[in-house]
Chain A
Amino acid sequence: ETGVTQSPTHLIKTRGQQVTLRCSSQSGHNTVSWYQQALGQGPQFIFQYYREEENGRGNFPPRFSGLQFPNYSSELNVNALELDDSALYLCASSLASSGGRETQYFGPGTRLLVL
């Protein structure tokens, strides 16, 4: 167990709806990253938050947005859901220090199905 939790475990939405996924980071970690993993693919980086600010973004449209809270928990929001948004969404927490954020600890993921 990594200490990173995500909710909900599974979610079914219809096209056009909005969804919020939640992540609770490992204790002491100040950085959270979100990844999307389509079936049969490797995870794709969505964005990273450090101390409540976005700290890097992958090739995802603006309808993917996020928040990081003072307790370092995080949300991923997706607006105007499309069928291709169906995937496993993973969050990963890490500790930014002089040694970097090299090791990321992943949560179990939220499986989103868009119908």
Chain B
Amino acid sequence: SQQGEEDPQALSIQEGENATMNCSYKTSINNLQWYRQNSGRGLVHLILIRSNEREKHSGRLRVTLDTSKKSSSLLITASRAADTASYFCATVTPGSNYKLTFGKGTLLTVNP
């Protein structure tokens, strides 16, 4: 079953613009992770935020976590055509042996 739900399902922007994707989840978590997937191939780990953290940065990525609202957002600044991919949030819940539970993803298209 899906734990996270990303919003929007698809997003199209111009190069240089910022892209924001949101993720909502249902149960308490240990951490939330964001992954990127190009053209239906393997997933690339982008960033992990723990339940006691509110914001993390990695290069052009900024992730926020609001555990009271059970939601997270991923911001990609100054987007590039190479950022075109599907983005998934995944949660790890207590006692799950680090099983990742993924949402359905957001398809981001960055137009040159």
Residues of A within 8 A of B (CB): 2, 4, 31, 33, 35, 37, 39-45, 48, 55-56, 58-59, 88, 90, 92, 94, 100-109, 111
Contacts and interface: CB of A to CB of B under 8 A. Distances in A.
A43 B100 contact: yes
A41 B90 CA distance: 13
Contact of B98 (A4, A42, A101): A101
A100 B45 contact: no
Which 6 A-B pairs give the minimum distances between C-beta atoms?
A42-B102, A101-B98, A56-B97, A108-B42, A106-B43, A106-B42
Interface residues of B, number: 26
Contacts of B2: 42
A31 B99 CA distance: 11
Contact of B101 (A39, A45, A107): A45
17 contacts: A35-B100, A42-B2, A42-B4, A42-B103, A48-B97, A48-B98, A48-B99, A56-B97, A94-B98, A100-B98, A101-B97, A102-B33, A103-B45, A103-B48, A105-B45, A106-B45, A109-B40
A66 to B, nearest CB: 14
Interface of B: 1-2, 4, 31, 33, 35, 40-45, 48, 88, 90, 92, 96-105
Given A42-B88, A55-B97, A56-B96, A104 B102 contact: no
